[in-house]
Chains A and B, each alone.
Chain A
Amino acid sequence: MSDTAPARTGWLARLKAGLAKTTAKLSDGIAQVFVRRRLDARAIEELEEALIAADLGPATAQRLAGGLARLKFDRDVTVDEVRTALAEDVAAILTPVARPLVPDPARKPHVILVVGVNGSGKTTTIGKLAHHFRVGGAKVLLAAGDTFRAAAAEQLKIWGERSGAHVVAREPGADAAALAFDALEQARRDGADVLLIDTAGRLHNKSDLMAELAKLVRVIRKLDATAPHDCLLVLDATIGQNAHQQVETFRELVQVTGLVVTKLDGTAKGGVLVALADRFKLPVHAIGVGETIDDLKPFDAHSFARSLMGLDR
């Protein structure tokens, strides 16, 4: 996912604008804690709370604040010092997971399965990914595997038109696994470079729906034992600590290989991502920052961390 220079400033500006409000809140929070004061126990606690308010979760917040305390305890510190130090710690956690999604051109097709709970933004993400791969010159096929939600296939077809990718769809209620199988066959026939398979949103605690997803994987493996080559879990940035259970379950049942975080243009900053990166070490391939086709951006650990802490680049 390499962007051209102007687009890059565009998305950064956009991300920053989007993040501005809560970032302001968080950094105000930090600013209130430290205009310039001694880093004492009370200050550490307040710092921890500011991190919790960004969805980092109590445990991660405590660890980060504690780490800072070990280095600077009882010293006089400024807001910027605290922010910079925390941003560096967060970036250190996130850097290893900031890896773009690069389809292997030798595969033909490189199969990407997209999963997630309802409303996380799977279909929209697929539309944007299709566009991204198309711009890169790849031939892309989309499989409308969400045969449950009303008009999901229509939604994907519109994305197909926008991105110039073919869409394989069936009537509502059709077997998603069979559809995926056919789509893979067609992708091979057509010599497509990338096959993106959409799936119906499902809550990770519904065992029968999760089994259905596992079946889809089993079925496409009959054609290509190495497929899916990537399995993306799409997470909504507004999500709280339940993201942990989601990643855990999806990873276990369908071997999720990477994450996409959507809706980062709101006030939610997806702070839980820091905790997820720390715990699961799954790559974060891209972030969604809006509803238009260009609003999928590579995940940049450094700027994400600095945005999270209210620092400019």
Chain B
Amino acid sequence: MFESLTSKLGEVFDRLRRRGALSEADVTEALRAVRVALLEADVALPVVKDFIDAVRTKAVGQEVLRSVTPGQMVVKIVHDHLVQVLGSTAAAIDLKTSPPAPVLMVGLQGSGKTTTTAKLARRLKQRERKKVLMASLDVARPAAQHQLAVLGEQSEVATLPIVPGEPPLAIARRAMTTARLEGYDVVMLDTAGRLHIDDALMAEVTAVRDAVNPVETLLVADAMTGQDAVNVAKAFAGRVGISGIVLTRVDGDARGGAALSMRAVTGQPIKLIGTGEKLDALEDFHPDRIAGRILGMGDVVGLVEKAAETIEREEAEKLAAKMQAGTFDLDDMANQLRQLRKMGGLGGVMGMLPGIGKLKQQMAGANIDDKVIRQQEAIISSMTKKERRNVNLLNASRRKRIAAGSGTSVQLVNRLIKQYQDMSRMMKQVQKLGKSGLMRAGLKGLFGGGGGPGFGGPGFGGPGFGGGQR
């Protein structure tokens, strides 16, 4: 559904085929594609309009650099402006006040306030060595207070004891008093989800704000939010006043246009993003990555970081040593398969790559999915230790046994062995790179750079995953 903006712009400019400065007509046509891309990414219409106008002024008359196409040029201008609007530097959580510093979390129902509260508390505790107290003011949703208490246990952050029937304002006051008496640095106040048009509840949260005078009031919003993001952000900023935005579920595949909308209408920075269900899945906001995503250009930086995280250093070093010694065996291959799966499987990896939309569809069409990775793991698991170390042992009867053991077929076993052989052949080529070059080459290979030791060459295109099931 979402083609990459670059390829769309490519089509526009293919027709023009002209170099030199960008004319107004070129830009207008290109910006039409940009407009649709932004709208499909859920950027709110008024924000899109302002954005397009600003980019138009910047783009008209720009010299197209020698080495790029006009399409790429426009994308660059759009991207740069998007990064600029999203905020060029990361904004930190500001706790500069005499402790305890109150932090108020607000947002719609189901935006992820409670989980984010616990994640942020954990982060402040671990990274900044703060003594944090959490309190849930959510008396509306059943068991909401209990949920925060459980999360507090999991993250080893203190929570205010629950007093049944206590109204939100009283809980907030009690939290502040407790924090003062017990010497806490930060008090995180998780509020009930509320609609921004619910006057009574908005008045309630305003009363809490006035009572505790928070240093940070964070609006928690779902990255999947549509055009309504502007209404929500405007209402919360207007009535409660916010000092920052936390964008949740950024680990989904929504393009996250809401980030731009909310940033544009409130003028407040996006401070953090939620990237998973686990309590450590809270990250700093990097405008350039979201910019790429909104434009459908993929999150290359995110991909590389994720890869670096997943492929543990030790494992990588072990692999390096093996490669140097030329002893990369099937166990190592199984390891690589596991790591690929950890990164969210092929779909997860592909989703982050730029311009891969079409390829991804083709892959889906060709029935190549994570099942193949699992199958291959199963095949390797069905081998004996000896066989894994020495692939030459695998004669026909052993292959039959392995096929039966893994619930696959001899053809699939053969294909895996072929893939392994391709990989180890390439390993030998890579040996020249030495240890220092390994990580880089490894990643490049893994992500289709070709020539590396990973799944690049033989993977997506060749006899590896590409060969898949049929």
The answer to whether A238 touches B344 (Cβ under 8 A) is no
Q: Which of B39-47, B412-420, B462-470 binds A?
A: B39-47
B209 to chain A, nearest CB (A): 21
Considering only residues 13-67 of chain B, those with a C-beta below 8 Å from chain A are 36, 39-42, 44-45
The answer to whether A151 touches B150 (Cβ under 8 A) is yes
Contact pick for B109, options A117, A121, A208, CB 8 Å:
A121
Q: Which of B85-93, B138-146, B265-273, B451-459 binds A?
A: B138-146
B316 to chain A, nearest CB (A): 23
Q: Which of B177-185, B250-258, B330-338 binds A?
A: B250-258
Kindly name the residue among A52, A121, A150, A158 whose own CB sees the greatest number of chain B CB atoms within 10 A: A150
Complexed CA–CA distance, A103 and B202 (Å) = 39
The answer to whether A207 touches B348 (Cβ under 8 A) is yes
A294 to chain B, nearest CB (A): 16
Interface residues in A, total, Cβ within 8 A: 52
Kindly name the residue among A18, A149, A207, A245 whose own CB sees the greatest number of chain B CB atoms within 10 A: A207
Contact pick for B249, options A49, A149, A151, A203, CB 8 Å:
A203
B339 to chain A, nearest CB (A): 14
The answer to whether B222 touches A238 (Cβ under 8 A) is yes
B49 to chain A, nearest CB (A): 9
A128 to chain B, nearest CB (A): 12
**B-side contacts of A208, CB under 8 Å:** 345
Complexed CA–CA distance, A119 and B344 (Å) = 21
**Main secondary structure on chain A at its contact with chain B?**
loop
**B-side contacts of A154, CB under 8 Å:** 142-143, 146-147
Q: Of all chain A residues, which has the CB nearest B221?
A: A238
Determine whether B3 belongs to the interface, using a CB cutoff of 8 Å to chain A: no
Mark interface residues in A226-257 (1 if CB within 8 Å of B CB, else 0): 00000000001111111111000000000000
Kindly name the residue among A18, A157, A240, A244 whose own CB sees the greatest number of chain B CB atoms within 10 A: A240
The answer to whether A242 touches B255 (Cβ under 8 A) is yes
The answer to whether A242 touches B227 (Cβ under 8 A) is no
Q: Which of A84-92, A266-274, A297-305 binds B?
A: A266-274
B255 to chain A, nearest CB (A): 7
**B-side contacts of A206, CB under 8 Å:** 251, 344
With A240-B258, A242-B252 in contact, do A155 and B141 touch (Cβ < 8 Å)? yes
Complexed CA–CA distance, A117 and B147 (Å) = 18
Considering only residues 276-327 of chain B, those with a C-beta below 8 Å from chain A are 277
**B-side contacts of A124, CB under 8 Å:** 141
Determine whether B376 belongs to the interface, using a CB cutoff of 8 Å to chain A: no
The answer to whether A53 touches B227 (Cβ under 8 A) is yes
The answer to whether A242 touches B42 (Cβ under 8 A) is yes
Considering only residues 112-143 of chain A, those with a C-beta below 8 Å from chain B are 117-121, 124
With A207-B345, A240-B224, A266-B228 in contact, do A159 and B142 touch (Cβ < 8 Å)? yes
With A205-B253, A207-B345, A240-B224 in contact, do A151 and B195 touch (Cβ < 8 Å)? no
A207 to chain B, nearest CB (A): 5
The answer to whether B108 touches A263 (Cβ under 8 A) is yes
Determine whether A212 belongs to the interface, using a CB cutoff of 8 Å to chain B: no
**A-side contacts of B39, CB under 8 Å:** 52, 57-58
**A-side contacts of B228, CB under 8 Å:** 22, 55, 237-238, 266-268
Determine whether A73 belongs to the interface, using a CB cutoff of 8 Å to chain B: no
A259 to chain B, nearest CB (A): 15
Determine whether B244 belongs to the interface, using a CB cutoff of 8 Å to chain A: no
The answer to whether B253 touches A242 (Cβ under 8 A) is yes
The answer to whether B224 touches A150 (Cβ under 8 A) is no
Considering only residues 15-61 of chain A, those with a C-beta below 8 Å from chain B are 18, 21-22, 25, 49, 52-55, 57-58
Complexed CA–CA distance, A132 and B341 (Å) = 42
The answer to whether B226 touches A55 (Cβ under 8 A) is yes
Complexed CA–CA distance, A22 and B227 (Å) = 11
The answer to whether A58 touches B40 (Cβ under 8 A) is yes
Complexed CA–CA distance, A266 and B222 (Å) = 15
With A241-B226, A263-B110 in contact, do A118 and B249 touch (Cβ < 8 Å)? yes
Considering only residues 210-254 of chain B, those with a C-beta below 8 Å from chain A are 222, 224-229, 231-232, 249, 251-254
**A-side contacts of B144, CB under 8 Å:** 151, 155
The answer to whether A57 touches B196 (Cβ under 8 A) is no
Q: Of all chain B residues, which has the CB nearest A148?
A: B277
**B-side contacts of A245, CB under 8 Å:** 1, 253-254
The answer to whether B251 touches A203 (Cβ under 8 A) is yes
8 tightest Cβ-Cβ pairs between the two chains A and B: A240-B226, A119-B110, A240-B42, A150-B150, A268-B228, A158-B142, A151-B147, A242-B254
Enumerate 11 A-B pairs (CB-CB under 8 Å) in ascending A order: A119-B110, A120-B110, A151-B149, A152-B147, A158-B142, A172-B150, A203-B253, A205-B348, A240-B257, A263-B108, A268-B228
Which B residues are closer than 8 A to A by beta carbons?
1, 36, 39-42, 44-45, 108-112, 140-144, 146-151, 154, 195-197, 222, 224-229, 231-232, 249, 251-255, 257-258, 277, 344-345, 347-348, 351, 370
Extra pairs beyond A152-B143, A157-B143 (17, CB < 8 Å): A22-B228, A53-B227, A151-B146, A172-B150, A205-B251, A205-B344, A207-B347, A236-B224, A238-B224, A240-B42, A240-B257, A240-B258, A241-B41, A242-B224, A263-B195, A265-B195, A266-B197
